[in-house]
Chains A and B, each alone.
Chain A
Amino acid sequence: MIEYIEKVGKIVIAIAEELGRILLLLFNVIKQIFLPPFEVRNIFKQMMEIGVKSLPVVIVTAFFTGMVFALQTYTGFQRFGAQAYVGTVVALSLTRELGPVLTGLIVAGRAGAAIAAELGTMRVTEQIDALETLATNPVKYLVVPRFISGLLMLPALTIFADMIGIFGGYLVTVGVFKASSVVYWKRTWDYLEVSDIYNGLIKACFFGAAIALISCYKGFYTSGGAEGVGKATTGAVVLSSMTILISDYFLSNWLFK
């Protein structure tokens, strides 16, 4: 019995410790954002890595998600004669849910893994210590640019995902099912509100910041050589994805209620 309590206790302490360290890193990052020098060049470089280079995958994912969504809703809604509302359903689900969440998951898998692996390797090869000896704050130099890029690029990518997804839905509804193009767009714009879009983008900002912070944290505190880097990378993707999916419920509950 005591053994079990000990085990549970150890897990609880480990979780509390990890959360605490992530929060401390977050406070440090926020402080460093406002202190000069501002890492403009680094921020642009990271925006390229996290944002621009993720765009092709995001476009393909959103396009096919929009198409399959239209396909499924059209055939489903046909059963009770509501196929005119496919445009509405596609637009609402993409802007409110699928756009930010799918983009988040893709970036967590692509950029999150890359961040954790890069910082993890820098840690185990003493490059992060070397930064300190060259009078450079590693949080400012490495974490801040990635954090800002995540925060800004996720909503930008989400805007693309929203548009491309809706377009994919349009192609299937009008192209495959020969539904009216006018009806599709009218139903889309009639019920889509600006708040759907920007609340979706707020979610995306949160996801972007979370992915960058978690991945940087995992990379920054890597230990144990090549195996440690592998663990950090896996850990970053798993924890980022879980954070996105779990926080999505609570954010939706707060933003769309």
Chain B
Amino acid sequence: MEKGESRVVIGGSGSGKSVILKHIIGILKPDKGNVFIDGIDLKTLNEEKLYDVKKKFGMLFQMSALFDSMNVWENVGFVLLRQKKKKPAEVKEIAIEKLRMVGLVGIENLMPSELSGGMKKRVGLARAIAHEPEILLYDEPTTGLDPIMADAINDLIIMMRERLSVTSVTITHDMNSAYKIADSISMLYDGVIIETGTPGEIRNTGNPVVRQFVMGSAVGPIKIEGVSNERIFDRA
């Protein structure tokens, strides 16, 4: 991937999308193959060096994964508070600034349990950008949100790239979102990237598997787990 690129990985449930993200950021270690970040093979790094590389990343989780024992600004300022280079009051100021960037004002003292799903996503995004990472990873950023909130999150992802010039990898199965935020889209099927192209190329693809997925059709070469194809064809 190029610096500053926005890549979206699409694929069905259980195709290995989340696993890709966890490998990129080094939470999981690959059984086979290598992950290179800025030319460095993560496999060759010891634990301490790996944590240095992790500082280049920010990640937005599907369910936001906010720390429920801390309030909103402590969540956003988590890394800065731990680095202890700044006083808590300064960190709080930075957290409020990051929250404003994602469109949230006046909620810094609330607990995560008091927030709606969309707000949690925004706080999660503010936390992911608080330590000014170079690479942002989004794990199904629009899943579980209403269409309007989902589009607002898409706009935020685009804004992050434009204002912070970060590289981003998004995994999703929301095609509206994918077309909107991607420079390029890769389709993951059965653990293998079967096609990569611009949103336009993917939309008009000749590959029947990709075609079925982007059209959102139950009928086609992709089998639905646990459901026999005959039944679907009967119904169709």
A130-B61, A135-B51 known, 10 other contacts, Cβ within 8 Å: A37-B84, A126-B61, A126-B62, A129-B22, A130-B65, A132-B25, A133-B57, A135-B52, A136-B79, A136-B82
Across-interface contacts of B25 in A (CB, < 8 A): 132-133
Partner of A135, one of B55, B62, B67: B55
| Cα-based distance from A132 to B55 in the complex (angstroms) | 10
The answer for the CA separation of A136 and B27 in the assembled complex, in Å, is 11
B1 interface residue per 8 A CB criterion: no
16 A–B contacts, CB within 8 A, in A order: A37-B82, A122-B67, A125-B65, A125-B68, A126-B61, A127-B67, A129-B61, A130-B66, A132-B25, A133-B58, A133-B137, A134-B78, A135-B51, A135-B131, A136-B79, A136-B82
Contact B59 A133 (CB under 8 A): yes
A97 to B178, CA, bound (A): 64
Given contacts A129-B22, A129-B27, contact A135 B79 (CB under 8 A): yes
Q: Is A137 an interface residue (CB 8 A)?
A: yes
B54 interface hit (Cβ, 8 Å)? yes
Cβ–Cβ contact A126 & B63, under 8 A:
yes
Instruction: Report whether B59 and A130 are in contact in the complex, using a CB–CB cutoff of 8 Å.
Output: yes
CA distance A244 to B219 in the complex (A): 58
Are B51 and A137 interface neighbours, CB within 8 A?
yes
Question: Distance (Å) between the CB of A200 and the closest chain B CB?
Answer: 34
- Tell me, yes or no, whether B47 is within 8 Å of chain A by CB: yes
B98 proximal to A (CB < 8 A): no
**How far is A133 from B62 in the complex, measured between Cα atoms in Å?**
14
Residue of A at shortest CB range from B52?
A: A135
Inter-chain contacts of B67 with A (CB < 8 A):
122, 127, 130
Within the complex, the shortest CB–CB distance from B42 to chain A, in Å, comes to: 13
- Which of B47, B55, B65, B84 lies in contact with A129, CB distance below 8 A? B65
CB-CB under 8 A from B7, the residues of chain A are none
**Taking the complex as formed, is B127 at the interface, i.e. its CB lies under 8 A from any CB of chain A?**
yes
Per the 8 Å Cβ criterion, residues 9-53 of A in contact with B are: 37
> For chain B, which range describes its interface: under 10, 10 to 19, 20 to 34, or 35 or more residues?
20 to 34
Q: Which of B54, B62, B68, B82 contacts A132 (CB 8 A)?
A: B54
How many residues on A have C-beta within 8 angstroms of the other chain's C-beta atoms? 13
Interfacial chain B residues near A132, Cβ < 8 Å:
25-27, 54
Q: How far is the CA of A134 from the CA of B70 in the complex (A)?
A: 15
With A129-B22, A129-B27 as given contacts, are A134 and B65 in contact (CB-CB < 8 Å)? no
User: Are A125 and B63 neighbours in the complex by a CB distance under 8 Å?
Assistant: yes
Compute how far the CA of A37 lies from the CA of B81 in the bound complex, rounded to whole angstroms. Answer: 12
Top 10 A-B pairs ranked by shortest CB distance?
Answer: A130-B65, A133-B59, A126-B65, A135-B54, A135-B55, A126-B61, A132-B27, A134-B79, A127-B65, A135-B51
Digit string of B78-89 for contact with A (CB within 8 Å is 1, else 0)? 110010100000
Which chain A positions have C-beta within 8 A of B51?
135, 137
* Binary CB contact string for chain B from 18 to 49 against chain A (1 if under 8 A, 0 otherwise): 00001001110000000000000000000100
Interface residues in A91-131 (C-beta closer than 8 Å to B): 122, 125-127, 129-130
Least CB separation from A32: chain B residue: B47
Which chain B residue lies CB-closest to A127? B65
Chain A residue numbers with a CB within 8 Å of B68 are 125, 127
**Nearest-CB residue, chain A, relative to B62:** A126
Write out the residue numbers on chain A whose beta carbons fall within 8 Å of the beta carbon of B22. 129
Return A246 CB to nearest CB of chain B, in Å.
33
B74-101 interface with A by 8 A CB criterion: 78-79, 82, 84
- Look across to chain A and name the residue whose beta carbon is closest to the beta carbon of B137: A133
Contacts of A137 in B (CB 8 A): 47, 51
Closest to B139 in A: A126
Determine the chain A residues whose CB is within 8 A of the CB of B52 once the complex forms.
135
- A39 (CB) vs chain B CBs: closest residue: B82
Of the listed residues B22, B65, B78, B131, the one surrounded by the most CB atoms of chain A closer than 10 A to its CB is B65
Contact partners of B61 in chain A: CB under 8 A: 126, 129-130
